[in-house]
Structures are given as C-alpha cells and as structure tokens.
Chain A
C-alpha cells in the first residue's frame, strides 16, 4: 500500500517542478500538464488512503503522517472543485508551495498506522474529521489566494511589476474567490467543532478524558471565533481587500497552530490521536 504513497508523492513532485517551469516559461509549457500530474497524484493518494482506511476499517487520519496525507488530499480535492467552478488556472501554481512543504514534511514522518481504540470507529468521528480537514484545506487555499491579493495590491500600488504579474488573475476575481472560500470554510469548520463537542460529550467518560480542556479544542474554538469576527467584518465591508487578506493570513497561522501545533503538545486527548 505504501507503494501508492510513493508514486503519489513522486507525481506531486513532478507537478510541482512543472509548475515552477511554467512560472518562468509560461509559453514553454502549458499549465494543463501541471494539472494532469496533480490529478494523477491525487488518484494514487486516494487509493493509498482508501486502502489504509479499508484495511483498518476507519478513516485513515490517525498519527501525524496520515493526518498530513489526508490534509494534502483535502487541499487537492478542494482545489479540483474550485478550479472546475472558478476556472482560474493560476491557482494550481499558487498552491504548489503549500503542497511542497507538507509533502516534504510527510517524507520525514512515514510510519505504520498507529494502534487505536474502537471508540474512534464511528460515523460521528468520521464526520468530525472530514469536516475539520475540509475546513483546514479551504482555509489553506484561501490563504494562498490572500497572498496573491497582497502581492497584486503591492504591485498595483507601487507600480513595480514582477514577471508573474501578467499571469495573475484580476484582483476582483481573487477577492471573490477569497470571500467564497471563507464563506464556505467557516460553516464546514463550524460543523466540525459542533460534532467534536458532541463527541466530547458522548465520550466524556472514556479513560477519564476531559475533552473541553484539550489544547486542540481550545485552539479550534479560538480559530472559530477569529474567523467568525473576520466574516462579520467582511460582510459589513468594514475591511479593505488588503486588510481582509492580511487577516486571512493570521487565520491560517491559527489553523496551522490548531492542526499541527497542538498535535505536538503531549497533553490532552488529541495528542493521543496524533501519535
């Protein structure tokens, strides 16, 4: 099964390389080649995760290695949906750095599937995880879009244009995409938190765990509050495009803290799940 992971990683790296070539020589290589390799890598990663899930009869997200892979899978999945709807080819090149970082990290964390408790083999848990990861993925792509917005704004303001300027989609397009992503991610993430709270209540007597003082739960709630405020301010148009983009970056920092950071704190019940 790990063979599919290696193939997938290899294909992702080819896609990333092609994406970098496209940035410097857009006429030399069409962006569709990057897309083909990403799609193929996605298929192989799906096979690996599906196989692992079927083998252990649960969603394959336990341990930091599998969690990272599921996150990479989620980002790719969300990207495929966005691209078919928004038709912004440049996005694929923009998410490449994100994929690259997490793929490289995953290479250092390869490990067998951890032991787990039967408590985690239920649909509530699956729903909690899927919505959490989808939420993370959408927020992550949102941050890529936010970075593009900030770069475009800087270039238009300073009238100094880099070689990629002509490749970027218009700011209005990026702004609409960013707003859509925030509006989509927030309810999905909210569902994850609500289901997580339900799970915490159901399993409050499991191994004497107090879910509500888990660092990841607290961090998630803080992230949720942050995004709620951001969305309210955005909808009331209290923020400029640039400020919304910067706050999106702050939100992503909170996402990283929640998703990755808290997994390395060895207190609380989520830390058990991350090993």
Chain B
C-alpha cells in the first residue's frame, strides 16, 4: 500500500496560481467523485485552503503514475498543465505522512500556530468520508493527523499568544473587559490604520463605534462604511468620556490627548477603566497617561514587541513539535509497513504449505510401508523444521519495521521469496 501527495502551497506557488487551482467547499465532493470514477484504484482526500491545495492519494501499487491525475485536475480546472506543473510538489510514503502531520499541527502554515488549519484538515477528511473516497489507509492517516494536530496544540505553546499587532491589542482588551461586544470604542483618525482597526472591531461584533476626526467629511465616510457614530472634533472630550476602548491613529505631529485631560476624564468617568491604543507615529497620546489609575495605554511598539515575542515563542516550539511529529511519522510508517507485511507472510506461509504437502505426498508415495503414526511424526518434524527456518527472518523483519530500513528489509524478503 502506497501513499502519495500532489500539492502546491504559499511557499511554492504565487497567489494567482493558488486562486486558479483552489476548490470551494461545494466543489470538493464533485471533484472527489470525478477522481474516484476515473481512477478507482485510489483513495482520495482533497485539502483546499487559501494557502494550499493538496491531494492525498493511496493505492496498492507503489509505482503508480501520478501524471494522469495531475492532467485530469488541470483539465477539470481548465488550466494549462505546464503553467501549474513547476509549482507542484509530489511526495511519497514517509514524506506524505510527515507533511500531513505538520500541516495539521500548523507548523507548515503561513502563520505558525494558527488554529484554523486543524479544522480545515478535519473538514477535508469529513467530505471525503462522506463521498466514500477514502479507505483503510487514508482513514488511518487523517484520523492520526487530526490526533497529532490536537496533541501538538495542547502539549506545546505553538498556538499561544497572538502575533499580529491588532490581534495583540484585542487580546489585551479581552484581559481587561469581560466581553467586548457591549463596549464602546472611540476611533480617532480616519486614515488607513483606522480603517483596518475598524474592520477588526467589526469582526469582534462591537456594537458601539464612535469615529472622530478633524475633517468631518472623512468621519462621515468611515461612519457610513462601518456603521459607526460620527463625532465632530470638538466632541473629543465627550467621546473619551463614553468610550471603553480608544484607538488613536491621526497624522498629528503633536499629542492630541494629554495627561491632564485624561485625569479629568477619569474623575468624570468615576474610575471606569479605559483601554487606549496609540497606533500613531509620532504618538497621539501623551505617554505619562499610562501612570493614571484605570488607564491602560499601549503604543505601536508595545504591541509589536509582544507580537514579536509571541512569534519567537512559536518558532521555539517548532523544534519540539518536529520531534514529536517525527516520532509519530515513524510510528505510522511502522504500522503501514506491518500492514504490507501481513499479506506477504500469509502468501509465504501458503507457498510453504503447498510445497510441504507436495513433498510429503511424494515421500509417502515412495514409502508406502510407513505406518500412520510414522507419517504423522514425519509431517510434524518437517513442520517444525520449516517453522524454525522461517521464524528468525520474520522476527528480524518485524524488528526492522520500526526502523528506517524496514522497507528495505521487506523488499529484500519479498524478492528472495519471490
């Protein structure tokens, strides 16, 4: 039984190629059915995300030709094979196992430690299971990969800590506030950074967004776009009074929010805490505001430092993950090789039995005077001799299965015993 993988990802193929080759979730059952119909000897699972398109295959034949499948898929997607071929990678056996375990564990992801990929792997497997395009090997492989992915996430810190500045900021806000949905956010400034921030806030389902900028027209534009409440610049004080979270990113060359203003605001707010994010350079909010009780101020450097530290932490965890994945890969390969061995041993036993019967018949024919008891003893002796001869090679093969040279031993064994 053999394993194959044909794929391209963010490392090997540019976005336009990935876009052309990607499959939407609704398309996957059809392509799986089509591949299974055209190539019934294969088990198939298709994994298609924004960063990778991979087809996992398994068949009985180690030397399967994969070119026809690649052509078939290119025809299906109406894309020139030559355009895509140079971006493809093809893996076999151990490489396939290591790769899917790495993918499920998110160490092969663009953002190492991301949580979505495990769900995507599971989804891909579920679809294939439903379409009955998997079999014993891919079932075992994907079930194992999901377990490996879960183990890596729970036993290492690969998924801990946010790594983008905006998600770090939201993370900190979540440590201050019980939930963000019922909080109000004041966005100061109407530039690109404010827009990006507003998009993140919308994702967090924050209901009340106040937008303020010196140029009221820009404020109106953003407020309409993101369903926020526009405020004129002169109402900055009121905005600060009511907001729980303040995100500032103006192009002002001076601080627009001073310590004295915030001190006054905090008294009027009756010590309600406020989370302030200063994304501007030069800074919009006077740094000494940080010292006021109940005010938590984060500037762009603070967020970047934490994001960087989290990224480094995840990188450090990769080594531990790789060790674990290697162990699990070897374990799976051993299982796969044992699976390959069993029919071989059965075949050999069958042949031995056949030869034994033939030779015993010939012997008993030549020696008709042998009694039943004598015939029994001779049969038993030959059986013992045969078992003793083959016992040691079988044990050796099983021992070597768990090591890298197991496949080689198996190949030699098969060749020797034809």
Contact = CB atoms under 8 A, between A and B. Distances in A.
A243 B178 contact: no
A165 B172 CA distance: 10
B306 A171 contact: no
Contact of A172 (B155, B176, B270): B176
Contacts of B272: 237
A72 interface: no
A62 interface: no
B320 to A, nearest CB: 13
B295 to A, nearest CB: 9
A159 B271 contact: no
Interface string B193-217: 0000000000000000000000000
A168 interface: yes
Interface in A143-157: 152, 156-157
A159 B300 CA distance: 13
A16 to B, nearest CB: 24
B160 A243 contact: no
Interface size class of A (residues with CB under 8 A): 20 to 34
A270 interface: no
Interface in A140-185: 152, 156-157, 159, 165-166, 168, 170-173, 176
Contacts of A168: 175
B37 to A, nearest CB: 44
A171 B294 CA distance: 11
Contacts of A27: 154-155
Interface size class of B (residues with CB under 8 A): 20 to 34
Contact of B271 (A156, A165, A171, A241): A241
B337 interface: no
Interface centre among A27, A152, A243 (most CB of B within 10 A): A27
B271 A239 contact: yes
A123 B324 CA distance: 64
A240 interface: yes
Given A156-B296, A240-B294, A171 B302 contact: no
Interface string A227-241: 000000000011111
B290 interface: yes
A156 B294 CA distance: 10
Interface string B171-182: 010111110000
A170 B293 contact: no
Contact of A157 (B174, B178, B290): B290
Interface in B276-313: 290, 293-294, 296, 298, 302, 305-306
Contact of B160 (A157, A166, A171, A173): A166
A243 B175 contact: no
A172 B294 contact: no
B270 A237 contact: yes
B351 to A, nearest CB: 51
B160 to A, nearest CB: 7
B135 interface: no
Contacts of A239: 271
A242 interface: yes
A127 to B, nearest CB: 36
A152 B293 contact: no
Contact of A159 (B178, B266, B270, B302): B302
Nearest to A170: B178
B271 A172 contact: no
A240 B293 contact: yes
Nearest to B298: A159
B299 to A, nearest CB: 10
B298 A171 contact: no
Nearest to B178: A172
Contacts of A237: 270-272
Contact of B175 (A156, A241, A242): A156
Contacts of B266: 240
Given A156-B296, A159-B306, A240-B293, A170 B270 contact: no
Contacts of B296: 156-157
Interface centre among B176, B266, B272 (most CB of A within 10 A): B176
A237 B273 CA distance: 11
Contacts of B270: 237-238
Given A27-B155, A237-B271, A241-B271, A170 B177 contact: yes
Contacts of B176: 156, 170-172
Contacts of B174: 170
A165 B57 CA distance: 44
Contacts of A159: 298, 302, 305-306
A210 B270 CA distance: 45
Interface in B85-144: none
A129 B391 CA distance: 79
A171 B154 contact: no
8 contacts: A27-B154, A166-B160, A170-B175, A171-B177, A239-B271, A240-B273, A241-B294, A242-B293
Interface of A: 27, 152, 156-157, 159, 165-166, 168, 170-173, 176, 237-243
Given A152-B175, A170-B175, A241-B271, 20 more contacts: A27-B154, A156-B176, A157-B290, A159-B305, A159-B306, A166-B160, A170-B177, A170-B178, A171-B175, A172-B176, A172-B177, A173-B178, A176-B178, A237-B271, A237-B272, A238-B270, A238-B271, A240-B271, A240-B294, A242-B293
A-B pairs with lowest CB-CB distance, top 9: A237-B270, A240-B293, A172-B178, A240-B271, A240-B294, A27-B154, A173-B178, A172-B177, A170-B178
